[in-house]
Copies of this chain bind each other. A is one copy, B any other.
Amino acid sequence: MTIKLFGGPKTRASMPLWYMEEKQIPYELLELDLRANKHRQPDFLAINPFGKLPVLVDSGVLTPGGELLTLFESGAILLHLAERYTDDISTAAEKALTNQWLLFANSTLSIALFVPTSRERDFPRLMAVLDQQLDPDRPLVGHCWGAADCAVQAHLAYLPLFYPEMDLSAYPVIQEVIRRTHARPAYRQVMGLG
């Protein structure tokens, strides 16, 4: 198999997994038992010294040093998969805007959602703007559901799972996006939602 993905439950591995399922990109999943601290053992630290998941190994791409491309950071993995294994990105603008949304999801949105001080301070405004920017019937970039949608929707879809008491009624579009995300078969499969 060309693509190996090191992942584990409750890591951002769910994003590239979901993306590869949607795009029917073949891959091999190598699940690490985080409770047994497998991500801190020497064999995995040789692959990612930071001990973080996910990590993608793409044997179809060599580094200038002749090694297999080994990539951490889920956003970088998504952009690589989109560019190399799909036809989703065809212009410089689509590439740049896809990357913008990947960084927005993994940095700006992630901090606003999951860092308590930011959640109080920045979350409401960010969500209000996002509610106006999103359209459940249109992808964020290009002509089909893609990496940008995957990253943003994956973060939003965590909200009812992580914070079931959170009131999202002020954000009707985001609610609809979450509802549709939770209904996608590939998402349900990857998230183990039966």
Contact = CB atoms under 8 A, between A and B. Distances in A.
A107 B104 contact: no
A71 interface: yes
B94 A64 contact: yes
Interface stretch (A2-10, A27-35, A111-119, A160-168): A111-119
A158 interface: no
A59 to B, nearest CB: 12
A91 interface: yes
Contact of A97 (B50, B52, B71, B108): B71
Contacts of A108: 50, 52, 73
A46 B94 CA distance: 20
Contacts of A49: 129, 132-133
Contacts of A52: 108
Contact of A107 (B83, B91, B94, B110): B110
